Structure 1
């Protein structure tokens, strides 16, 4: 049994709960990197995090990072933790812009998540209101969506990181911004994310959560964060089928 089959069987074991989760959604908030695309498909996020260290070292600032940050695979974690220790500094402003440029360079090689495009278009055509709440730069998100001709499904409701880096997920700040802009009720809003921080942000905003896990490691992290097995999918095809009325 491969990972995808195993994950779908977990969902179909409690099909009614999953079906209700999808059908109650009148608004859907997407994380960007993961549920919509694999942004660093041609250049892994781990490499980006390593490049952050090199960038800092070239400026004589290698000591700024803790040991945990130097071994992190998450460039957003590095950025937010450096920002917490050096709030409002030129260093943080420059590091954030550097990360934005790395994201923008990655867009042409980004790998669309399977079934994400038709899922987005189907929900949009059905009148479900869509937004993006992400720790990526909103500039990056817009460039990617324009390249896929999806921008009209979301604009103007794209909420990326701001200069207030303490508001990155798991803080629910961007989710709450999206809810206000959409005029959405939390109990009819669904967040689709792929990390424990997405789940925590969804809880903080009071919205429902659907986990997308493209491998067993991601699935295990979501399970450990308290996400129910029936609300984790390994393919958005499962969600698309439910939206189209084809779920078992």
Structure 2
């Protein structure tokens, strides 16, 4: 990556779509995702339905993997609705102890002050994103433009559904937007939506995963785009 490539992305954006967990905050910093996944597995065990998961899914520590697996086995049913609501409750608990990503708050505020409109496009529940942003005093920057998980779980990223909803409501062409994400599924969703992508990777493993997924521009700190805007 060159500074010119990053500069073109940063200065060319007229709206910026943010994934929540990673670029904006570490949502599960104080309430680990592994514990949340275990809660969902426990709900399945109470129903006698733990067999809906493979051993790998049970051990993944990823609550979204558990939720997706159950949706594949029992699509659109009451069990999926129960698990999704329980996951939302656990995410709300996590939001209360989430750790802000370094430089995310000033970057959001700086872009907004420059007239660039932000939106959230996340696989977390939208009310969780709103709760976190309100706690940081950032919700006014985003207004109504917070898009997240519904019970239509096949619309989770890498499906571009949340990105396309944001673009539609912002009346923005894909090429005028920028999506900031930290996962290969974010990169794929951006590609499918036709939106330029900026990868955020807080360690070498995450950077490698993003590069393998096709991300051309990856930063290890949000101070880099912030300094470009301030300059």
Which TM bucket (shorter chain)?
A: over 0.9
Looking at structure 1, the residues matched to 208 and 158 of structure 2 have their Cα atoms a distance apart, in angstroms, of 18
The partner residue of 2:103 within 115, 131, 151 is: 115
Following TM superposition, the consecutive aligned residue runs of length 4 or more in structure 1 with deviations greater than 6 angstroms are none
The partner residue of 1:153 within 141, 145, 151 is: 141
The partner residue of 2:51 within 58, 63, 71 is: 63
The partner residue of 2:3 within 5, 8, 15 is: 15
Please state how far the C-alpha of 1:155 moved relative to its aligned partner: 1.5
**Count of residues in correspondence between the two structures:** 231
1:233 partnered with 2:219: yes
TM-score (norm: length of structure 2): 0.97
Contact 1:212/1:232 (8 A) holds in 2: yes
TM-score (norm: length of structure 1): 0.90
Please state how far the C-alpha of 1:107 moved relative to its aligned partner: 1.3
The answer for the alignment partner of 1:3 in structure 2 is none
The answer for the alignment partner of 2:186 in structure 1 is 198
The 3 A distance-change label for structure 1 pair 221 and 73 is: farther
The answer for the alignment partner of 2:39 in structure 1 is 51
Looking at structure 2, the residues matched to 199 and 187 of structure 1 have their Cα atoms a distance apart, in angstroms, of 15
Looking at structure 2, the residues matched to 42 and 192 of structure 1 have their Cα atoms a distance apart, in angstroms, of 23
Encode CA deviations 1:30-58: one digit per residue, 9 max, x unaligned. 00011000010012212322332122112
The partner residue of 1:76 within 59, 64, 80 is: 64
Contact 1:131/1:157 (8 A) holds in 2: yes
The DSSP-based 3-state class of the residue aligned with 1:191 is strand
The DSSP-based 3-state class of the residue aligned with 2:127 is helix
The answer for the alignment partner of 1:32 in structure 2 is 20
The answer for the alignment partner of 1:242 in structure 2 is 228
Looking at structure 2, the residues matched to 60 and 81 of structure 1 have their Cα atoms a distance apart, in angstroms, of 16
Contact 1:27/1:189 (8 A) holds in 2: yes
1:95 partnered with 2:77: no
Contact 1:191/1:208 (8 A) holds in 2: yes
Contact 1:84/1:166 (8 A) holds in 2: no
The DSSP-based 3-state class of the residue aligned with 1:218 is helix
What is the root-mean-square deviation in Å for CA atoms of aligned residues? 1.1
The DSSP-based 3-state class of the residue aligned with 1:43 is coil
Looking at structure 1, the residues matched to 136 and 156 of structure 2 have their Cα atoms a distance apart, in angstroms, of 26
Encode CA deviations 1:187-237: one digit per residue, 9 max, x unaligned. 111000000000000001000000001111111111111112xx1111101
The DSSP-based 3-state class of the residue aligned with 1:210 is strand
Contact 1:132/1:157 (8 A) holds in 2: yes
